[in-house]
Amino acid sequence: KQEVTQIPAALSVPEGENLVLNCSFTDSAIYNLQWFRQDPGKGLTSLLLIQSSQREQTSGRLNASLDKSSGRSTLYIAASQPGDSATYLCAVSQDTGRRALTFGSGTRLQVQP
Amino acid sequence: GAVVSQHPSRVICKSGTSVKIECRSLDFQATTMFWYRQFPKKSLMLMATSNEGSKATYEQGVEKDKFLINHASLTLSTLTVTSAHPEDSSFYICSARLAGANTGELFFGEGSRLTVL
Annotate B24-59 with three-state secondary structure: EECCCCCCEEEEEEECCCCCEEEEEEEECCCCCEEC
Q: Confidence class of residue A38 from pLDDT cuts 50, 70 and 90?
A: very high
B43:A106 CB<8 A: yes
Is residue A34 less than 8 Å (CB to CB) from chain B?
A: yes
Give the HSE-up count for residue A17: Cα atoms under 13 Å, Cβ half-sphere. 15
State the pLDDT at residue A52.
92
pLDDT at B101: 67
Q: Which of A36-40, A95-99, B18-22, B50-54 comes out lowest in average pLDDT?
A: A95-99
Is A71 near chain B, with CB under 8 Å? no
Q: Are B43 and A104 inside 8 Å of each other by CB?
A: yes
Q: Which residue of B has its CA nearest to A106?
A: B43
pLDDT of the residue at A5? 96
Q: What integer pLDDT is reported at residue B1 of this predicted model?
A: 66
CA dihedral A20, A81, A91, A66 (to 10 degrees): -40
Mean pLDDT of chain A: 94
Q: How far is A107 from chain B (nearest CA, A)?
A: 10
Q: Which of B10, B21, B38 is nearest to B114 (CA)?
A: B10
B41 min Cα distance to partner chain A (Å): 8
Is the confidence at residue A64, as pLDDT, over 90? yes
Exposure b/e, A56-84, CB count within 10 A at least 16 = b: ebeeeebbbbbebeebebbbebeebeeeb
Helix (H, G, I), strand (E, B) or coil at B88: helix
Convert B77-111 to b/e letters by CB count within 10 Å (16 or more is b).
bbbebeebeeebbbbbbbbbbbeeeeebbbbbbbb
Residue in A closest to B44 by C-alpha: A103
**By the CB < 8 Å criterion, does A57 face chain B?**
no
Say if residue B26 is exposed, middle or buried (CB neighbours under 10 Å; 0-12, 13-18, 19+): exposed
> For position A94, what pLDDT does the model report?
86
Per-residue pLDDT of chain B (117 residues; tens, 9 = 90+): 678 999 999 999 999 999 999 999 998 888 889 999 998 878 899 999 998 888 899 999 999 999 999 988 889 999 999 999 999 999 999 999 877 766 778 889 999 999 999
A43 in contact with chain B, both atoms CB, cutoff 8 A: yes
Report residue A96's pLDDT band, with 50, 70 and 90 as the boundaries.
confident
Nearest CA in chain B to A46: B107
Say what the pLDDT of residue B28 is: 87
β-partners of residue B20 are: B80
Over residues A101-112, the pLDDT tens digits come to: 999 999 999 999
Q: Does A5 touch chain B (CB under 8 A)?
A: no
Enumerate the residues of chain B whose CB falls inside 8 A of the CB of residue A45.
108
Asked whether residue A10 carries a pLDDT value surpassing 90, the answer given is yes
Does the pLDDT of residue A68 top 80, yes or no?
Answer: yes
What does the pLDDT average to over A43-58? 94
DSSP 3-state of A18: coil
